[in-house]
Amino acid sequence: MPPSPHDALFKSTFSDPRHAEGALRTALPKGLAARFSWDTLEAVPGSFVDAELKSRHTDLLFRVSLSGREARLYLLYEHQSTPHPLMPFRLVVYAVRIWESWLKENPGATVLPALVPVVLHHGDAGWTAARSLEELYDLDEATLRAAGAHVLRHRFVLDELVTETDEALRARAMSALGRLVLYCFRRARDPEELVRHLGAWADVALEIMMAPHGRAALDTVLRYVMMVHPAESRIVLEQLRGALPDERLKETLMTAGEELMQKGEARGIIVGEVQGRRVMLRKQLALRFGALPEGANARLDAADAATLDTWAERVLTAATLEDVLSG
């Protein structure tokens, strides 16, 4: 399954340490942020999110020096309107995976790199779920206090975009591209508002365009705006031309619109074919094994065309549902 527009823009922007630095530095407590050597920030390949949660979580991992020692910063983007109720637990799972990967690369190590998790969220209602592992324990407050440091706490850093004003986002000590992307994420649940207020960001868009590789970066942002908007691309393109009338932006805007419309026509055919295979396989699995559990449905939704073909070949011979969906 192809990444969502949110995933694609998040990774294309913040996998670059030049843009990730500002996002992380502004989210972290100032005292902690000052202890990182930001010129050592480097992206680490890989994703640690469970397959069934990739529709709502996207992650990036960075290595960086913290007070002269190797550390990790883990940036997770929660792009569903309702936050995951077990997010602190999920982050513990991902942290263990990160450390296990590090230990494979450093056999014999007797210490671990410090790991600081940062969650970026843009839901309308704000973060309403637990922010630390201790909030998930089925314990009364007195018992939790008595347990003290003997139970895991694991509190993550939260960057809550819905609580930020456009002015506050503009003032963040970040790259122009990073600021514009966060603005788009903040407004993405109301695309009409996103386009309506985009004109106030024209100077930021120009700053992006004038930077090295800036036209391509701005093209990516504008295509994102058109993809999350429910109206036809041609209509959104006209709205964007009205919001961003500067002649220097028009060429990039028109290029982004034309590419998106051309790709959309081709993608529509491909997506329709893949979705048809997914529907058929879901029916076959239900007939063979009964009602599908939520996890199986999530894996079907996330599977690409090649994976669906592999699973379809196993339906008739596999003894269990897990045998079909394994691997």
Q: Across residues 230-247, what is the average pLDDT?
A: 78
pLDDT > 70 in the chain, percent? 92
For the chain, the average pLDDT equals 87
98 confidence band (pLDDT: 50, 70, 90): very high
Instruction: Give the separation between CA 259 and CA 219, rounded to whole angstroms.
Output: 10
Please give the single-letter amino acid code of residue 222: L
Of residues 273 and 90, the one with the higher pLDDT is 90
The string of pLDDT tens digits covering residues 301-323 is 777 777 787 888 888 788 888 88
Measure the N-to-C terminal CA separation of the chain; round to a whole number of Å. Answer: 16
pTM for this prediction: 0.76
Q: Across residues 216-237, what is the average pLDDT?
A: 82
53 confidence band (pLDDT: 50, 70, 90): confident
Poorest-pLDDT segment among 80-84, 92-96, 225-229, 268-272: 268-272
166 confidence band (pLDDT: 50, 70, 90): very high
Sign of the dihedral through C-alpha 29, 34, 39, 40: negative
> Residue 76: its pLDDT value, please?
95
Q: Which of 96, 97, 103 is CA-nearest to residue 70?
A: 103
69-78/57-66 β-pairing? antiparallel
Instruction: Give the separation between CA 157 and CA 253, rounded to whole angstroms.
Output: 35
Please give the single-letter amino acid code of residue 227: M
Q: CA angle, corner 229, sides to 223 and 235, nearest 5?
A: 85
> Residue 315: its pLDDT value, please?
82
221 neighbors 177 (Cβ within 8 angstroms) = yes
Of residues 69 and 283, the one with the higher pLDDT is 69
> Residue 229: its pLDDT value, please?
82
Count of residues making up the chain: 327
> Residue 28: its pLDDT value, please?
98
Q: Cα–Cα distances in Å, from 171 out to 26, 268, 294? A: 11, 39, 42
φ/ψ (deg, to 5) at 109: -65, 145
- Whether residue 265 is predicted with pLDDT greater than 50 in this model: the reply is no
Most confident among 67-71, 187-191, 217-221, 270-274 (mean pLDDT): 67-71
Helix H or strand E encompassing 193: helix 191-196
Q: How many other CB atoms are found less than 10 A from the CB of residue 44?
A: 15
102 neighbors 94 (Cβ within 8 angstroms) = no
Instruction: Give the separation between CA 225 and CA 216, rounded to whole angstroms.
Output: 15
Provide the β-strand partners of residue 115: 72
Helix H or strand E encompassing 158: strand 157-160
